[in-house]
């Protein structure tokens, strides 16, 4: 994806310098207009995207005006300005990240995975109101959308703090027993490692962010980093080792976790309506009753 953005960035100043500058200036003023409209429409998310794009265009203008020798194409490849992928709505981006993670995840993890594996940045703050918006949308017109970003359910059948899930997942995957955070963490490590592996097999260079994320995850999976001999040395872990080590610990937890999840899911099916099953039930009464 970075490759594409690189060529996309380059073509602005490929022909003549003055022509490029004209085109860039036109783009800059068009972007400013769009930002004004977005701000007026109170679409903060879109305005931020556009501002990022504007900054990119201005940097390109700076490079172009400084002369061709400064317009280093290598610098262009790291620019993410004008990335079409990042103009996807936030919920799409979150859905992509969650689908990759394959387990309920906190906003931090979603942002980290998204930043590492997809181009474009996803601000953590933008996820804050997402779950509430989704709930409102669902209650207004149930099942009108193909999927909803919903809550993970705790053992009191209330919405878990800060965890996002996808409504199309089976209920067992969306509930959180005592061991589930650990299991979900290991699942995340496996999925990220597999993703890096897939990229490597397809001959794509893994994004540096992805390697970093994998290293960070692997550090907390016993046996996933080359051995305990070199503490503190950030070696790039082998994705295959990570998958194997994470599966080894997953096997330890599997039975106990599955039982806890089945129990919670069963209670949720018996007691909760459609909307509550997705976005969490009434917390207080149940908290007293079920504990």
CB closer to other proteins, 108 vs 145: 108
Answer for the pair 249, 222: CB distance below 8 angstroms, yes or no. yes
Answer for the pair 206, 196: CB distance below 8 angstroms, yes or no. yes
Residue 269 CA to residue 73 CA, distance in Å, equals 57
| Cα 188 versus chain centre, distance | 12
Answer for the pair 9, 79: CB distance below 8 angstroms, yes or no. yes
Token pair of 146 as six digits: 């193909």
Q: Which of 181, 194, 238, 244 binds other proteins (CB under 8 A)?
A: 181
CB closer to other proteins, 41 vs 255: 255
- Least CB distance from residue 119 to other proteins, whole Å? 24
- CA distance from start to end of the chain: 49
Does the protein bind other proteins through residue 109 (CB under 8 A)? yes
Q: Which of 35, 81, 106, 115 binds other proteins (CB under 8 A)?
A: 106
Q: Which of 167, 170, 151, 148 is nearest to 159 (CA)?
A: 151
Residue 63 CA to residue 66 CA, distance in Å, equals 5
Q: Which of 251, 282, 268, 281 is nearest to 170 (CA)?
A: 268
Does the protein bind other proteins through residue 167 (CB under 8 A)? no
Q: Which of 160, 191, 195, 245 binds other proteins (CB under 8 A)?
A: 160
Token pair of 149 as six digits: 């970003």
Size of residue set near other proteins by CB under 8 A: 32
Does the protein bind other proteins through residue 287 (CB under 8 A)? yes
| Cα 31 versus chain centre, distance | 26
Binding mask 194-223 for other proteins (x = CB under 8 A): -----------------------x-xx-x-
Does the protein bind other proteins through residue 86 (CB under 8 A)? no
Residue 152 CA to residue 173 CA, distance in Å, equals 8
Does the protein bind other proteins through residue 161 (CB under 8 A)? yes
Q: Which of 20, 86, 96, 158 binds other proteins (CB under 8 A)?
A: 158
Residue 243 CA to residue 67 CA, distance in Å, equals 49
Q: Which of 164, 179, 178 is nearest to 253 (CA)?
A: 179
Q: Which of 159, 213, 243, 246 binds other proteins (CB under 8 A)?
A: 159
CB closer to other proteins, 140 vs 228: 228
- Least CB distance from residue 194 to other proteins, whole Å? 17
- Least CB distance from residue 287 to other proteins, whole Å? 5
CB closer to other proteins, 160 vs 167: 160
Q: Which stretch of DSSP H or E encloses residue 152?
A: strand 149-153
Answer for the pair 44, 125: CB distance below 8 angstroms, yes or no. no
Does the protein bind other proteins through residue 264 (CB under 8 A)? no
Stretch that binds other proteins, among 32-40, 133-141, 142-150, 156-164 (CB under 8 A): 156-164
Stretch that binds other proteins, among 38-46, 61-69, 181-189, 194-202 (CB under 8 A): 181-189
Residues that bind other proteins (CB under 8 A): 106, 108-109, 154, 156, 158-161, 178-182, 184-185, 188, 217, 219-220, 222, 232, 249, 252-253, 256, 280, 282-284, 287, 291
């Amino acid at each position: 994806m970075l490759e594409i953005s690189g060529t996309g960035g380059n073509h602005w100043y490929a022909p003549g310098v003055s022509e490029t500058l004209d085109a860039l200036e036109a783009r800059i003023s068009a972007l400013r207009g769009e930002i004004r409209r977005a701000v007026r429409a109170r679409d903060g998310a879109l305005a931020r995207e556009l501002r990022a794009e504007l900054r990119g265009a201005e940097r390109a203008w700076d490079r172009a005006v400084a002369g061709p020798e400064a317009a280093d194409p290598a610098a262009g490849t790291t620019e993410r300005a004008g990335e079409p992928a990042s103009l996807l709505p936030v919920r799409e981006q979150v859905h992509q990240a969650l689908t990759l993670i394959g387990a309920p995840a906190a906003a931090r993890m979603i942002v980290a995975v998204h930043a590492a594996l997809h181009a474009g940045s996803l601000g953590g703050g933008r996820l804050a109101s997402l779950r509430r918006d989704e709930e409102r949308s669902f209650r207004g017109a149930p099942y009108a959308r193909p999927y909803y970003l919903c809550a993970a359910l705790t053992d009191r059948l209330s919405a878990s703090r800060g965890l996002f899930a996808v409504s199309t997942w089976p209920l067992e995957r969306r509930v959180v027993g005592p061991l589930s955070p650990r299991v979900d963490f290991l699942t995340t490590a496996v999925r990220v490692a597999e993703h890096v592996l897939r990229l490597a097999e397809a001959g794509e260079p893994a994004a540096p962010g992805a390697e970093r994320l994998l290293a960070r995850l692997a550090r907390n999976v016993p046996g996933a980093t080359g051995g305990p001999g070199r503490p503190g040395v950030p070696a790039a872990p082998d994705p295959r080792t990570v998958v194997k080590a994470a599966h080894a610990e997953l096997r330890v937890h599997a039975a106990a976790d599955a039982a806890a999840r089945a129990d919670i899911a069963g209670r949720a099916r018996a007691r909760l309506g459609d909307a509550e099953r997705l976005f969490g039930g009434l917390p207080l009464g149940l908290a007293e009753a079920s504990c």
